[in-house]
Structure 1
């Protein structure tokens, strides 16, 4: 007796589209190939989405949630801004290879797609806002906190590209924690001593 196939959800389609983006950017999202990958019909696609553009936007929303909002929620469980910065940077550096990094790089290369450009702008602004808030909690004024946030984010993007292009030249393994610590030390130097009880 044949087993009935599981009914696909919009999330299944979005996740498959996001995987395709990691391999070939936004242009790699096409209904027919994804239907074959998922073992589904085009009818399944149109049950959830009215167009390919809707699917692309759903995949980008999934990426935004996974790689930004979920990460921020995870880091928020860490006590204190300096430790949150270290945890965030070290976690980001450890994710500069594999599927997450592939999607990040592919989206950066697909910025000519309006939907991708909009998602990248939104995600970058959110990430920089969160980083700047951590530096501000350490006592830096708004302009300085923003500058340090940009430097930290640039370190992440640069490391991602370095691992992608010339992995043998990038810190890895046991060296990565020390590398992250030195980055955080440089980025937080000259921070005023927090008030009694520490900055939270």
Structure 2
């Protein structure tokens, strides 16, 4: 069975979420995919190239695609709710971000993590500016919002990967957005 580069990075991304960076290794991934190491080497020079491609896929799927998805929503409050639903929902379900953040000191991870963090925070700050906040206050609220997201990711891991049901995720997202809007002096409804 011939595998594509995308199938390898997809498997690597799943392994990253389940096992951390240690799970992104050629032999276990080949077993998981029912493939040979030769298939891996057809697409990648080495594990580092796979890690780079996997981190790029994470950035594309969890940042670029999410921003594109919510950017089509005309109302900034609804964009913030949609973003929170996606991001905080993923965090509560044990998203990849906590695993990637745990490896922030890795020279392969750090530049990607810094780039993603800057892009996400800039987008969130723009949402707050669109809601009427000034540049400095919007940046502060973006920092608070992103900190909440990261904290939810870490809490999910600290609780042994507990994955709340859809109703609990929805309520948590509603409470988070309400609190964020109130802290910005904006109407919560």
Matching of residue 80 in structure 1 with residue 75 in structure 2: yes
Match of residue 23 from structure 1: 18
Q: Give 1:138-153 correspondences, 5 Å limit.
A: 138-153=131-146
Please list every run of at least 4 consecutive aligned residues from structure 1 whose deviation after the TM superposition is greater than 3 angstroms.
Answer: none
Matching of residue 95 in structure 1 with residue 90 in structure 2: yes
Match of residue 43 from structure 1: 38
Instruction: Check the 8 A contact 2:125/2:141 in 1, yes or no.
Output: yes
Normalising by structure 1, we get a TM-score of 0.82
Looking at structure 1, the residues matched to 46 and 129 of structure 2 have their Cα atoms a distance apart, in angstroms, of 43
Match of residue 29 from structure 2: 34
Larger radius of gyration: 1
* Greater RCO, 1 or 2 (C-alpha within 8 Å, sep 6+): 1
Instruction: Check the 8 A contact 1:152/1:187 in 2, yes or no.
Output: no
Shift of 1:64: 0.6
Structure 2 residue ranges without an equivalent (≥5): none
Looking at structure 1, the residues matched to 170 and 132 of structure 2 have their Cα atoms a distance apart, in angstroms, of 31
Question: Deviation string for 1:163-198 (max 9, x for gaps)?
Answer: 332469xx925532531342232243159xxxxxxx
Number of positions where the alignment pairs a residue of Structure 1 with one of Structure 2? 183
Match of residue 176 from structure 1: 172
Q: Aligned to 1:110, which of 103, 113, 126? A: 103
What's the C-alpha RMSD, in Å, of the aligned pairs?
A: 2.3
Looking at structure 2, the residues matched to 145 and 26 of structure 1 have their Cα atoms a distance apart, in angstroms, of 34
Looking at structure 2, the residues matched to 64 and 96 of structure 1 have their Cα atoms a distance apart, in angstroms, of 15
Matching of residue 162 in structure 1 with residue 155 in structure 2: yes
